[in-house]
Amino acid sequence: MTEKFDCVIVGAGPGGHAAAEAAARTGRKTAIIEMDGWGGTCTHRGCIPTKALLACSRRYADLKKLKRMGISCADASFDFGAIRRHQLQMTRISALGVQQSLKEAGVDMKEGRGEILSPCEVLWTPPRGAALALQTENIVIAWGSEPLLLPGITLSDRIVTSDGLLAMDRIPEIVLIVGGSVIGVEFATLLAELGSQVTLIELMDQLLPCEDAEAATLLAQELTRIGVRVLLSTRLETAADSGDHVALTARQGDRTISLSAEVALICTGRKPRLAVGELDRMGLRYERTGILVDSRLRTNIPTIFAVGDVTGGMMLAHRAAHQGRELVRSLYGDGREPEGDEAVPSVVYSHPVIARVGPTEREARRKMKDVEVVKAEYAAQILARTELAGQGFAKALFHKDRLIGVTVVGDQAGELIASMSLAVACRVDRDRLASWVIPHPALSELFSALGRK
């Protein structure tokens, strides 16, 4: 028995969700298959649960600032059971939102496993009942990603990835975090703000090695201020779960460091989730870093496409969703080639938040000459000082007077970067940036200051 579709998407994370919804809204008969939760990693093990926890930890930490404003919260406390209920509720709401938007668009939603059988056929195996072959003109792979583990690391009840920590029903008292990239610094932030004793080790000589060096330095200072022990240029050598604690050894230069913690959180990145057997059988080209696609997100088989984390590169939910929509536009819309990643913003939801679009200063100077760097400090903005926003800055990169990149570190940086993403995409020049009329007082006045010569 078979069903016929115009497009079948395997995976309902942000990329698959966006592609399915967009395809169905063009009138194409569309099916999407998901076996591990509608919304994918973002909804269940990534963006949504971590941001729910960070929202709680930030509000708790901010209570300490209120005394300066004349507000007393001397006996403040938190209930982690209630915090966790908030986390789970936000996850449920996000998953229901994905299902509702797919249903409203007219997508045929199928729970279970999807296996590509041929360039025009996908086998759907539901949790119960017989498998069904889906015939289709186009197939979209949206398998997502999974945690990347260091060689020699064995997961246990006390040696966990972010998936394991998010499933815990209490806050560990002593935590060692291995890896100072996005996931590591976000968990270091929320755990320290909720009272855990946190040690964060990073192999490279700065936190967030892919981000602006000044922003990473400011973040390290703020993490240290809230009690996080930050160890840079430090390599994990061994990790052993003894049953009641985790014993670790690390190497920092010529020095061996012995560490003990209640829980070791491994945050050494993510990798594309690749069904290697399926890819090999189909003859689909891939590398360790992801399925290989061209500028139109097409694999080496013309009817099979891939979007999101499974293609490697920037593993961001909004980038995956953007790819899904752009793919559908290319297939069923105006046929134009999907846009690249140049204006895709990235945000680290630490406290302070770090947001960027375009290259870092180091990358820009390596690739081109005559890069001009302009900074504006939060301390110079009256609203930032009025709201006790703390330290922060915006840094703009100009090449031949055109805006090519912006980094913002500080309060509301994740919101502020959205307008800068549009400015970079539209190739705004410095004069145009300087003429931007911005409400006063507002944090976004930082940007008009960047345009002044």
Model confidence pLDDT, tens digit, residues 141-194 = 999 999 999 888 999 999 999 999 999 999 999 999 999 999 999 999 999 999
- Please tell me the predicted confidence (pLDDT) of residue 203: 96
Which residues, given as ranges, of the chain have pLDDT below 50? Answer: none
159-268: same fold as 2-147+271-332? yes
* Owner of token pair 């025009």: 120
pTM recorded for the entire structure: 0.95
In the chain, the N- to C-terminal Cα span, in Å, equals 69
Q: Any idea where the domains of the chain sit in the sequence?
A: 2-147+271-332, 159-268, 352-451
- Please tell me the predicted confidence (pLDDT) of residue 67: 85
Beta-sheet strand order (sheet of 263-266): 159-160, 263-266, 174-178, 197-201, 229-231
- Please tell me the predicted confidence (pLDDT) of residue 2: 82
Superfamily of domain 159-268 in the CATH hierarchy: FAD/NAD(P)-binding domain (3.50.50.60)
- Please tell me the predicted confidence (pLDDT) of residue 64: 85
Instruction: Give the chain's mean pLDDT.
Output: 95
- Please tell me the predicted confidence (pLDDT) of residue 344: 96
- Please tell me the predicted confidence (pLDDT) of residue 447: 92
Q: Considering the domain 2-147+271-332, what is its CATH architecture?
A: 3-Layer(bba) Sandwich (3.50)
- Please tell me the predicted confidence (pLDDT) of residue 340: 83
Give the phi and the psi of residue 27 in degrees, each rounded to 5: 95, 0
- Please tell me the predicted confidence (pLDDT) of residue 162: 95
Integer Cα distance of 35 and 10 in angstroms = 9
The domain made up of 352-451 is a member of CATH 3.65.10.10? no
- Please tell me the predicted confidence (pLDDT) of residue 299: 98
Give the phi and the psi of residue 439 in degrees, each rounded to 5: -60, 150
CB of 16 within 8 A of CB of 142?
yes
CB of 325 within 8 A of CB of 18?
yes
